[in-house]
Chain A
Amino acid sequence: MEITLALAALKVVGYGLAAIGPGIGIGIATYGLCTSAARQPEMKGQLMGYFFIGAAMSEALALLGLVLFFIG
């Protein structure tokens, strides 16, 4: 019983740890998009593509943590 509870709690902690890096990463990506779109608004469409690729890539790590939460 206690081991099960500890495992469940550790899964939540693990997901929380997995979400730290991607959170910072997506923040930096959004910052970059905002500043560069403010500088050159005509580039915004192209930048959005790069932004989504980058955000998806860093978010992948958090999603892997979520998957481990379900299967681990």
Chain B
Amino acid sequence: MGEALNMFVEEAQGIAAHFDPQTVFSIGGSNVTQYVIWLFIALAVTFIVILVAAKKLKLVPTNKFVNMVEYGYDFVNKNVAEDVIGNGFKKHVPFLATLFFFILICNFLSLIPGFKTATGAISCTWALSVISFVYFIVYGIKANGLGGYIASLAPSGVSGPLKPVIWFLELFSTVIRVLTLAVRLYGNMLAGHMMLAIFAIATTCFLQVSLFSGSMDLIAGLPSIAWFLLLVLIYALECLVAFIQAFVFAILSASYIGGAVHPH
């Protein structure tokens, strides 16, 4: 027991290094890490899924695959765009659906053992959140004009000397959105995968000590069953988190767009 625990602690300490971006090859001075490769794989999968589904579009879909993709699009249309943005949501559905599908496929790819998620690298999530940030600011300026958008940061109804204070706080909370969108996705994906890795390491450590440490000691291997069950539970939780994070990213982008387009 003690031996396995020592081994587990030793192995678990080096786990963060496995999640660091490592350069696979360089093109013209810029390094390509494994996360970039997984980003392009996720991009290719997204393209294939959407193009295959779009090719077989019918008024009444009979194909199961097409039905699934359409359900996802309809989910974004109804639950994300219409409920949150309100008036004039149709224009923003393609953008939100792109974000949702891409992040969902990134997250789900990583649940296959041996695969990595591009959203587990901070640079990728920064790029996604900057896209969303620029999008809602551009549409806010288009809808209200530059002066109107800047003034609309402070909610109407606030008057007197309180107005600049509220405006400044709202400005801060607007600017910080780009950070929180990026860090939320990155933190959730990285922490989830680290948790999976820790439980997997615990399972193997106890199994290894019980089977391969000279004498067969089956009692010492019993905790690994518990670790494995926990691993399966965490895996199920990660499936949920993978979906929820894609949904949250899309719905937050939608509510930022809604707030920018129809100021209160």
Interface residues of A (CB under 8 A from B): 45-46, 48-49, 52-53, 56-57, 59-60, 63-64, 66-67
Task: State whether the Cβ of B128 lies closer than 8 Å to any Cβ in chain A.
Answer: no
Instruction: Give the interface size bracket for B toward A.
Output: 10 to 19
Contact (Cβ within 8 A) B251 A66: no
Residue of chain A at shortest CB distance from B259: A53
Q: What is the number of contacts between chain A and chain B, taking CB atoms within 8 Å?
A: 44
Further contacts, 8 of them, CB under 8 A, given A60-B173, A60-B179, A64-B179: A45-B79, A45-B84, A53-B252, A56-B177, A57-B173, A60-B180, A63-B179, A66-B187
Write the chain B residue with the least CB distance to A44.
Answer: B83
Distance of A58 from chain B, by nearest CB (Å): 10
Complex-state Cα separation, A10 to B183, whole angstroms? 21
Question: With an 8 A cutoff between CB atoms, is B176 at the interface?
Answer: yes
User: In the complex, which of the residues B82, B176, B187, B252 contacts A52, with contact meaning CB atoms closer than 8 Å?
Assistant: B252
The answer to whether the Cβ of B192 comes within 8 Å of any Cβ in the partner chain is no
**B260 CB → nearest A CB, Å:** 12
Q: Contact: A52 with B83, CB < 8 Å?
A: no
With the chains together, A55 CA to B183 CA distance in Å? 15
Closest CB in chain B relative to A36 CB, distance in Å: 15
Q: B255 an interface residue at 8 Å Cβ cutoff?
A: yes
Q: 1/0 per position for B173-192, CB-CB distance to A under 8 A?
A: 10011011001100100000
**A45, A48, A49, A59: which contacts B184 (Cβ < 8 A)?**
A59
The 5 closest A-B pairs by CB, nearest first: A45-B83, A49-B84, A60-B180, A63-B183, A49-B255
Task: Determine whether the beta carbon of A63 is less than 8 Å from that of B180.
Answer: yes
Chain B residues positioned under 8 Å from A48 (CB to CB)? 83-84, 251
Known contacts: A48-B83, A48-B251, A49-B84. The answer to whether A63 contacts B184 by CB under 8 A is: yes
A67 x B248 contact (CB < 8 A): no
Q: Are A59 and B84 in contact (CB under 8 A)?
A: no
